[in-house]
């Protein structure tokens, strides 16, 4: 018999974890440290192991690991999932409003403006607060039951935060973040698998996987945008209130929504976002305009295809048609040869595009891309556009097939393509193109973050043979640097101090910066949580590495090979001699990952309890960093008395703003352990 006490404790733990999941994943505003959170999960897991009869599908421990299915059962939507009418100009939006006036003469309309997320639409059904089914839209009447896959998305509640009786249905959009999409494609490219053209296709493909364990590994997220059905109580009177209730129940509702008192405000909202859509980490293809009053919505009704109370005001397309003038080959830091299409310059969502990546030979063959082809290009989550497909009807017969060169276009060494690899590589160990890329990789913001070491400077340093490997960066001096083109004394000094700063970066960054094949940012972070120094990591065997979740055999092998290589060992030895931090000293306790580690702060306005210098020291002592200007990459802006323009900018960019008190709370959490 299981005691009541155990049952209660398990329920309590689940409630708490659900709440903290919500704070962390949905609100991005954790209340406890990762460490404290881990303790809760660990306790719950061990109780569930000890008392298997108390395992329950709604437990936060049960998100991953559902069994694979043969195929998805088909489900019938109780309320059809319609689509939206599109509008493409403010005139058409005004016509939309005119139509509303015709249907409901004499009435006034309020609107909710939302971003139209470019993902996959889903329906979720809850009974008495528990998720019982999740499905795709399908043809609008029937969709696929993909409950197992949707359960793996951390922001979809398995149990609602509030008691909600009866049956409810909510709808929303599952999407893949742009950064996640790039990472997924990078991995697929390394494995020689076909690439996703854009984050939407990637999200759709991920939801169609028959094994939920694979879906769980994909960086998916969701926004819920409507409450379609409730059975045990009456609906509120507006859509706006529905969204508020959905948020209270624990759903992830976008905060970029706006209640508009007239259509002009809707158009302002569109004008605001059309300029800022690139700042979001997900693709949006327009604004959805919805009549706010639910009574008006039901009186307006729907056609067989779409509701009359809503429309999508689309953004200019991110797709364009253009012609490939030539295909050139670039050499990356691992020697990988990447074919790049040189395009007839074309305007694509506000910028002139001249190149598109073609990834590798297999992709070119798969899509049968030839020089001279007319192609559709798309900016999907990437700065560099992709070629989606060839417009075959435009072929003239004069197009030329492309083949990879046999020699490296930069250093002339042989090019090899290993069995099972999609990528052809230059094998020249002294190839300057590789070295330049390796340095750029090492210095980039998410690696050792050496500001001021840009491509132009790297070119000079390598071409003049001043830098022959990354360790030479630590031997640069003022007179040499200031003798270079475009380098004044001040910028040289700044660069030197940046290089000095880079010696102190945390282990995860160094691991990433080394450019070990198959070790991306995420992999580097995982490794840094398992090993306290480069030395420890260098001694790990393939088996040890493979035992780490998310480190596969290929990555493990690549790490072992990297550290076996004499040249790499020498390089690390030199880095150490120059004072680059190689993780924790042996014998020292490994520092737990803290909430502040690697977080970036900006301070604005006067603080009551600290000088700027003290605040900076405090943040740095907890692993965070203080920077001077606000950008999307900043995690927190701390606003004291009379904050300046930085505050406004943070608000605009949606960067989290903390009061002094909020900042202190964050710090307090850190000191708990």
Q: Catalog residues that contact ligand IVH under the rule CB under 6 A.
A: 82-84, 114, 116-117, 121, 173, 225-226, 288, 306-307, 310
Least distance CB 478 / ligand IVH (angstroms): 54
Instruction: CB nearer to ligand IVH: give 164 or 288.
Output: 288
On whether the CB atoms of residues 171 and 225 are closer than 8 A, the answer is yes
Least distance CB 297 / ligand IVH (angstroms): 10
Structure tokens at 635: 């995690």
On whether the CB atoms of residues 14 and 160 are closer than 8 A, the answer is no
Half-sphere exposure of 485 (CA within 13 A, CB side): 10
- What own/partner pairs with CB < 8 Å and gap ≥ 24 does 624-633 have? 624/596, 624/597, 624/598, 624/599, 624/600, 625/598, 625/599, 625/600, 625/601, 626/600, 626/601, 626/602, 627/600, 627/601, 627/602, 628/602, 629/602, 630/602, 630/655, 632/279, 633/445, 633/600
Instruction: CB nearer to ligand IVH: give 121 or 532.
Output: 121
Structure tokens at 2: 């299981």
Catalytic positions:
116
Closest CA to 436 of 335, 328, 559, 570: 335
Instruction: CB nearer to ligand IVH: give 288 or 511.
Output: 288
Contacts of 366 by beta carbon, 8 Å cutoff, 6+ apart? 194
Least distance CB 114 / ligand IVH (angstroms): 4
Least distance CB 654 / ligand IVH (angstroms): 17
Structure tokens at 332: 């990356």
Least distance CB 461 / ligand IVH (angstroms): 47
Distance CA 111, CA 99 (A): 14
Q: What count of other Cβ atoms lies within 10 Å of the Cβ of residue 501? A: 14
Instruction: CB nearer to ligand IVH: give 174 or 524.
Output: 174
Helices 566-577 and 553-564: angle between axes, nearest 10 degrees? 70
Q: Coil, strand or helix: which one is 626?
A: strand
Least distance CB 137 / ligand IVH (angstroms): 6
Instruction: CB nearer to ligand IVH: give 122 or 457.
Output: 122
The residue with its CB nearest to ligand IVH is 121
Pairing state of beta strands 625-626 and 600-604?
parallel
Burial class (CB in 10 A: 0-12, 13-18, 19+), 194: middle
Instruction: CB nearer to ligand IVH: give 306 or 330.
Output: 306
Least distance CB 650 / ligand IVH (angstroms): 25
Least distance CB 304 / ligand IVH (angstroms): 12
Instruction: CB nearer to ligand IVH: give 119 or 624.
Output: 119
Q: What count of other Cβ atoms lies within 10 Å of the Cβ of residue 437? A: 21
Instruction: CB nearer to ligand IVH: give 235 or 484.
Output: 235
Pairing state of beta strands 120-127 and 74-76?
unpaired
């Amino acid at each position: 018999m299981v005691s009541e006490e155990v049952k209660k404790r398990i329920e309590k733990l689940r409630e708490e974890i659900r709440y903290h999941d919500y704070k962390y994943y949905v609100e991005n505003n954790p209340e406890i440290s990762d460490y404290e959170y881990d303790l809760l999960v660990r306790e719950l897991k061990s109780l569930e192991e000890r008392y298997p009869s108390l395992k329950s599908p709604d437990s936060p421990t049960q998100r991953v690991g559902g069994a694979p299915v043969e195929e998805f059962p088909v489900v019938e939507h109780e309320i059809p999932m319609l689509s939206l009418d599109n509008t493409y100009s403010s005139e058409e939006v005004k016509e939309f409003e005119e139509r509303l006036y015709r249907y409901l003469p004499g009435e006034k309309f309020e609107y909710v403006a939302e971003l139209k997320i470019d993902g996959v639409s889903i329906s979720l059904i809850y009974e008495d607060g528990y998720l019982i089914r999740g499905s795709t839209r399908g043809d609008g009447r029937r969709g696929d039951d993909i409950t197992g896959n949707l359960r793996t998305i951390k922001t979809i509640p398995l149990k609602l935060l509030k008691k909600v009786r009866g049956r409810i249905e909510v709808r929303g959009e599952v999407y893949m973040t742009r950064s996640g999409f790039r990472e997924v494609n990078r991995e697929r490219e390394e494995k020689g698998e076909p690439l996703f053209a854009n984050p939407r296709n990637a999200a759709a493909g991920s939801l169609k996987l028959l094994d939920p364990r694979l879906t769980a590994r994909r960086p998916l997220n969701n926004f819920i945008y409507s409450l379609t059905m409730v059975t045990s109580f009456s609906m509120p009177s507006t859509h706006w209130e529905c969204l508020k209730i959905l948020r209270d129940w624990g759903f992830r509702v976008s905060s970029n929504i706006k209640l508009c008192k007239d259509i002009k405000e809707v158009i302002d909202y569109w004008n605001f976002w059309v300029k800022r859509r690139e700042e979001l980490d997900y693709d949006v293809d327009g604004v959805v305009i919805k009549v706010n009053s639910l009574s008006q919505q039901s009186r307006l009704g729907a056609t067989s295809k779409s509701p009359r109370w809503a429309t999508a005001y689309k953004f200019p397309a991110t797709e364009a048609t253009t012609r490939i003038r030539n295909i050139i080959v670039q050499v990356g830091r691992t020697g990988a040869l990447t074919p790049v299409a040189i395009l007839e310059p074309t305007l694509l969502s506000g910028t002139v595009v001249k190149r598109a990546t073609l990834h590798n030979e297999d992709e070119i063959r798969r899509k049968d891309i030839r020089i001279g082809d007319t192609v559709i290009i798309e900016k999907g989550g990437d700065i560099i556009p992709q070629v989606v497909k060839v417009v075959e009807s435009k072929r003239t017969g004069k197009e030329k097939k492309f083949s990879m060169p046999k020699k490296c276009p930069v250093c002339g060494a042989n090019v090899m393509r290993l069995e099972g690899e999609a990528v052809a590589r230059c094998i020249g160990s002294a190839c300057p193109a590789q070295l330049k890329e390796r340095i750029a990789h090492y210095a980039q913001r998410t690696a050792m973050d050496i500001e001021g070491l840009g491509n132009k400077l790297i070119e000079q340093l390598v071409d003049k043979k001043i830098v022959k490997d990354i360790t030479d960066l630590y031997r640069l001096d003022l007179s040499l640097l200031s003798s270079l083109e475009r380098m004044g004394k001040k910028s040289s000094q700044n660069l030197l101090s940046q290089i000095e700063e880079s010696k102190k970066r945390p282990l995860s960054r160094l691991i990433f910066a080394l450019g070990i094949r198959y070790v991306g940012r995420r992999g580097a972070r995982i490794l840094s949580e398992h090993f306290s120094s480069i030395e420890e990591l260098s001694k790990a065997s393939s088996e040890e590495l493979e035992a780490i979740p998310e480190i596969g055999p290929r990555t493990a092998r690549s790490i072992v090979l990297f550290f076996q290589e004499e040249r790499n060992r020498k390089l690390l030895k030199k880095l150490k001699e120059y004072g680059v931090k190689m993780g924790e000293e042996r014998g020292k306790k490994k520092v737990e990952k803290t909430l502040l580690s690697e977080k970036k702060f900006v301070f604005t306005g006067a603080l009551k309890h600290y000088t700027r210098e003290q605040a900076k020291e405090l943040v740095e002592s907890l692993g965070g960093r203080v920077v001077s200007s606000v950008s999307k990459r900043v995690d927190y802006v701390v606003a004291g008395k009379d904050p300046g323009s930085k505050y406004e900018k943070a608000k605009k960019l949606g960067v989290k703003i903390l009061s002094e008190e909020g900042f202190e709370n964050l710090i307090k959490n850190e000191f708990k352990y």
